[in-house]
């Protein structure tokens, strides 16, 4: 198990370093596209048109304008067993009758990767060598160090409720990446809109990395994160004790993902997200979804006074012998009491 983890960590490190050196734009922002929140992820990430909580800053910043009370969200996600740790935290605060502001942060990390570059020594001289085939070569465990591969994204978000039907918002996001001795920074912009056709149907759009985000590495090389247009629709139906929510999103990318997308038209690719939620009297809910990486998801949520607890399970569609460990995530949303600067009607 540990050997497999080390090998996978090395693959992640190597591919990231290659990307940093070559400046390839394709997949440069893949670490940002994982998603946040137990409810959205349980619905396959189909949340562009649903966005109505603090997690809207990620899926569609316009949805933040739905909030009437401040919210705090926390999420922990262990991917591929415990190899990759993914954490998220966010705070959203409505201000006045129209505006909402939010700050959120995500960290994706592979920790405790072994660095053996200076651990191979000559058993006679004690000097560092680089040829393991030499008869005198040996590993000195005291010279093995650890490092991490980590990606950080911080969002500063704002949204406005133009009227009862139209909301819009934007993010400014700061990116920081670190792999061993190398690091990179970048700043990007997202813009989103939400339109409520009526009490049942909502449309949403979110243009991520609208101006193409430049990520500059300490090596002198650059990465470009191309824009992604997320389009979505959602419907909500109340039927006796049940509340039924269905959503469908499409990620439109412009990176010539010919072989990695569901379908494409030249350099433009289209990847769907689909989700269904059945809620019972606003007490608990069960969810199912399908996401852009051809993965089925399941989830459930419990609604307590001022606290939502959501869980999501995901499995990669691979053979039993080759299948990666399942992914589990849990998230919390805490709704706070109304402060003095909250909106008044």
Give the ranges where 132-229 is alpha helix by DSSP (H). Answer: none
Pairing of strands 201-208, 228-239: antiparallel
Delimit the domains of the chain by residue range. Answer: 2-108+149-335
Q: What is 2-108+149-335's CATH number, 3.30.2290.10, 2.40.160.60, 3.30.70.580, 3.20.20.80?
A: 2.40.160.60
Are residues 59 and 53 in contact, defined by beta-carbon separation less than 8 angstroms? no
Query: Is residue 84 within 8 Å of residue 113, measured between CB atoms?
Result: no
Tell me what pLDDT residue 169 has.
Answer: 97
pLDDT tens for the 345 residues of the chain, in order: 443 343 334 334 434 443 444 344 567 778 888 899 999 999 999 999 999 999 999 999 999 999 999 999 999 887 766 678 889 999 999 998 899 999 999 999 887 777 777 778 877 787 888 777 788 888 878 777 777 788 999 999 999 999 999 999 999 999 999 888 889 999 999 999 999 999 899 999 999 999 999 999 998 889 999 999 999 999 999 888 899 999 999 999 888 777 667 777 878 889 999 999 999 988 999 999 998 888 889 999 999 989 999 999 887 665 555 566 677 889 999 998 764 444 443
Quick one: pLDDT at residue 244?
A: 95
Eight-state DSSP code of residue 194: E
What's the pLDDT score for residue 113? 78
Q: Where are the beta strands (DSSP E) in the chain?
A: 71-79, 84-95, 99-115, 120-122, 137-139, 145-161, 166-179, 182-196, 201-208, 213-217, 222-225, 228-239, 242-253, 263-265, 268-280, 284-290, 296-304, 307-315, 327-335
Alpha carbons 209 and 93: distance in angstroms, whole number: 24
263-288 confidence digits (pLDDT tens): 778 788 899 999 999 999 889 999 99
Tell me the longest C-alpha to C-alpha distance in the chain.
81
Note the pLDDT tens digit of each residue in 101-153: 999 999 998 877 777 777 788 777 878 887 777 888 888 787 777 777 889 99
pTM beyond cutoff 0.85: no
């Amino acid at each position: 198990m540990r050997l497999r983890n080390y090998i996978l960590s090395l693959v992640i490190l190597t591919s990231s370093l290659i990307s940093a050196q070559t400046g390839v734009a394709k997949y440069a922002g893949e670490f940002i596209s994982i998603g946040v929140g137990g409810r959205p992820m349980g619905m396959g990430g189909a949340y562009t048109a649903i966005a109505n909580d603090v997690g809207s800053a990620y899926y569609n910043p316009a949805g933040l304008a739905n909030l009437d009370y401040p919210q705090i969200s926390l999420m922990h996600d262990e991917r591929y067993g415990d190899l990759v740790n993914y954490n998220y935290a966010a705070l959203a605060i409505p201000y006045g009758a129209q505006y909402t502001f939010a700050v959120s942060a995500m960290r994706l990390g592979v920790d405790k990767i072994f660095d053996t570059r200076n651990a191979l020594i000559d058993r006679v001289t004690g000097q560092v060598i680089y040829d393991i085939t030499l008869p005198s070569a040996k590993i000195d465990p005291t010279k093995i160090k650890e490092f991490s591969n980590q990606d950080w994204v911080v969002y500063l978000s704002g949204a406005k409720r133009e009227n009862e039907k139209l909301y819009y918002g934007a993010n400014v996001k700061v990116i920081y990446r670190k792999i061993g001795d190398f690091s990179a920074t970048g700043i990007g912009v997202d813009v989103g809109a939400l339109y409520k056709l009526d009490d049942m149907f909502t449309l949403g759009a979110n243009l991520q990395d609208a101006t193409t985000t430049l990520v500059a590495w300490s090596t002198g090389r650059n990465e470009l994160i191309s824009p992604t247009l997320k389009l979505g629709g959602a419907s909500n139906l109340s039927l006796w004790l049940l509340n039924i929510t269905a959503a469908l999103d499409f990620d439109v990318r412009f990176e010539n993902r010919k072989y990695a997308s569901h379908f494409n038209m030249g350099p433009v690719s289209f990847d769907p997200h689909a989700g269904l939620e059945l809620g019972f009297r606003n007490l608990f809910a069960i969810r199912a979804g399908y996401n852009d990486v051809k993965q089925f998801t399941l989830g459930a949520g419990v609604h307590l006074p001022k606290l939502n607890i959501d869980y999501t399970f995901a499995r990669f569609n691979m053979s039993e012998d080759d299948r990666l460990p399942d992914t589990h995530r849990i998230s919390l949303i805490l709704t706070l009491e109304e402060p003095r600067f909250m909106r008044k009607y």
